[in-house]
A = this chain, B = another copy of it.
């Protein structure tokens, strides 16, 4: 019996393995293509080709193009939600905490073009899925910033008339703009913006703006 189990389990595992692999290959390909071309522009054939599987499997695993798109979004939102839920460790100085959060977000955007673009498509297409179906990232951020900011206000570091939501939105905007509005960026600078130095310079600018604005 032991021997039988040993020979039969690997079989099942192998199939399940391949199945999961296929599913995630599709998801990966879909993520990059949906990010690039949007929910309308993306073609199922293209995704199938990119995933190296038969188009039919997309329908086997996800039911429809629409559904696949939703899964891509869910995956994407879960990722940043989970990251931000676990990753922040609080220092004593509110300045440090804020700076850390901004830096983390800025570099997350810099390194996750797919995330930036997927949320942009969603924003334009009316947020059919995101914002309703998925964990609300900004609610979480609001909760965490609330503590930081209140602490900062109590200790006299932060202007007491500040609206946390405005701060969150402004930081969001300031970080995002480098990656969503490249026409503007390239119309102002004529050099590569994704070099390490440039990225750091931009982050520096954001931090200075935010700090000397919200800190008295």
Contact = CB atoms under 8 A, between A and B. Distances in A.
Contacts of A63: none
A79 B124 CA distance: 22
A212 interface: yes
A69 to B, nearest CB: 14
A203 to B, nearest CB: 11
Nearest to A180: B123
Interface residues of A, number: 47
Given A174-B174, A208-B213, A127 B169 contact: no
Interface in A198-216: 202, 205-206, 208-210, 212-214
Nearest to A122: B183
A64 interface: no
Contact of A184 (B169, B184, B212): B169
Contacts of A124: 38, 117, 120-121, 124, 180
A170 B181 CA distance: 11
Interface in A119-140: 120-124, 127, 130-131, 136, 138-139
